[in-house]
A and B are shown apart, each in its own frame.
Chain A
């Protein structure tokens, strides 16, 4: 099955700096890649997603890039703010598919230092 690896596991940045989180996947059939943000004790919230027919997607301070050949995708957060501090999870999925399960990375704990 699919294996998603995520790096780094922890990341500290100064407020205003950029943060980059990287994920790799193993199954070349994966075609949908969401990113979730999870604050302590809260539910995972979708922040951005990308499909395999697109190389890059941006939403204000958040962007995701996808390299299908290398099977990796990255989350970029610019002008970080303290409220960006949370655990971020990447995931990969094959859709449409009878399973449609998400394979999650192990998470990156981001701390933005004021």
Chain B
């Protein structure tokens, strides 16, 4: 597939700064998912978005984290006032439509965030 694109691939921030992670889904996909992967751990669901709508944000911390998927442009995961515990790999995935036979999620290369 042309692939899910994420940028930046690596991001270094100092405590208290903002981190902004971008995700462009596979062309034609209108559903985006964000997952966080801590070192040596599995992927944890954060948020599921469709164009201009947040469908499920049950996995996202209530404070400092926000996500959007505007009508035009990439999906953005924003982390305000980063802390060291935010250091992780953040993966974006996309799917055409989460219906029968369309469940597959294609993952991007991830953004590795390091908070100093």
Residues of A within 8 A of B (CB): 6, 32, 34, 36, 42-46, 49, 89, 93, 95-107
Using known A-B contacts A101-B45, A103-B45, determine if residue A44 contacts B107 with beta carbons closer than 8 Å: yes
Assess whether B28 is interfacial by the CB under 8 Å rule. no
Flag if B48 contacts A44 (CB, 8 Å). no
Per the bound structure, the CA–CA distance linking A42 and B4 in Å amounts to: 13
Per the bound structure, the CA–CA distance linking A32 and B101 in Å amounts to: 10
Number of B residues with CB within 8 Å of any CB on chain A: 27
For the A-B complex, the count of residue pairs with Cβ-Cβ distances under 8 Å equals 65
B76 CB to nearest A CB, Å: 19
Residues of B within 8 A of A (CB): 4, 31, 33, 35, 41-45, 48, 55-56, 58-59, 91, 95, 98-100, 103-110
Using known A-B contacts A101-B45, A101-B48, A101-B59, determine if residue A95 contacts B107 with beta carbons closer than 8 Å: no
A-B contact pairs, 20 of them (CB 8 A): A42-B109, A43-B91, A43-B109, A43-B110, A44-B43, A95-B98, A95-B100, A97-B98, A99-B48, A100-B31, A101-B56, A102-B33, A102-B35, A102-B43, A102-B105, A104-B42, A104-B43, A106-B41, A106-B42, A107-B42
